[in-house]
Amino acid sequence: MAKRLAILDADRCVGCQSCMFACARRPGVGGLSASSIWVRSAGGIRKGYVVVVCRACPDPPCSRVCPTDALPMRPGGGVRLKPDLCIGCHNCAEACPFGAVMWDHEQNKPEICVYCGYCASYCPYDVLALEEIDDPLATGFTTPTPSPEGNVPHAEK
């Protein structure tokens, strides 16, 4: 089963950024050049914090807009980055409604969450957890299944 990060309760977030530093530290360096998780204030610190991280969409818009197929879908939801194919066009970052495609300015490539949960292990207040995605396509409605030729009606034939 694929995993993803869950935001259990952003109201418990104190803005310590331990998660961000953990993500950046994973390859063994310090600083914050690249982190796949981001914490910012919800309009000033008086109002608390917003935690932004990839939610491993079942049909990820970032993947759909990539002109070089550098963001293939991961089985179960979310995407993987193929850095060799990426041309740094920013389409993926602009397509994500959560702003969860962060940018590595040193590499000029998107910083894509690998759903490893390292950040969650440094959250002192249980805001984050790594969870299994049970049924990414679960919905209360029946969605039309696209026909193999697409949705264009067959006017001829």
Partner 1 sequence: MLKNDPLSRVLTIDLTRRRFSVDERPELFETALGGAGVAIRLLEEECKPGTDPLGPGNPIVLAVGPLVGLYPIASKTVAMFKSPHTGNLGESHAGGRSAVAIRMAGYGAIVIRGVSTSPVYVAIEGGHVYFRDASALWGLHSAYTAGTIMRQRESGAGVRSIMRIGRAGERGVSYASVITETYRHFGRLGLGAVFGSKLLKGVTISGQRSLPVADRRAYRTLYDALYKSATESPVMKKYHELGTAVNVLPLNAMGALPTRNLQSGHFEEAEAISGERLASEYLGRRVACAHCPVACVHLGTLRLAYPKEPYFYKTSMVGYDHEPIFAMGSLLGGSDVSSMFQLLDEAEVQGLDVMSAGVTLAWATEALQRGLISVRETDGLELAWGNYPAYIAATQRIVSQPNDFYRALARGADYAASVYGGADYALTFGKNEMPGYHTGPGCHLGYLTGARHSHLDSAGYSLDQRAAAKGETLTPDGVANDLLEEERWRQVLTSLVICLFARGVYTPDIVLKALATVGFDWTADDLTRFAADTLHRKQAFKLREGFDPSALRIPKRILETPTPTGMIDEGFIRRAIETYAQQV
Q: Which residues bind partner 1 (CB under 8 A)?
A: 14-18, 20-21, 24-25, 28-34, 38-41, 44-46, 48, 105-106, 122, 124-125
Closest CB to partner 1 among 74 and 122?
122
Considering the complex, what minimum distance in angstroms separates the CB of residue 33 from partner 1? 4
Considering the complex, what minimum distance in angstroms separates the CB of residue 16 from partner 1? 4
Long-range interactions of 93-97: CB distance < 8 A, separation 24+: 93/62, 94/65, 95/61, 95/62, 95/64, 95/65, 96/54, 96/61, 96/62, 97/61
- Cα 139 to Cα 135: distance, rounded to the nearest angstrom: 9
Considering the complex, what minimum distance in angstroms separates the CB of residue 34 from partner 1? 7
3-state DSSP assignment of residue 27: coil
Closest CB to partner 1 among 45 and 87?
45
Neighbours of 142 (CB within 10 A): 6
Closest CB to partner 1 among 25 and 80?
25
Closest CB to partner 1 among 45 and 85?
45
Residue with tokens 């049924």: 135
Considering the complex, what minimum distance in angstroms separates the CB of residue 28 from partner 1? 3
Looking at residue 152, what DSSP letter applies? S
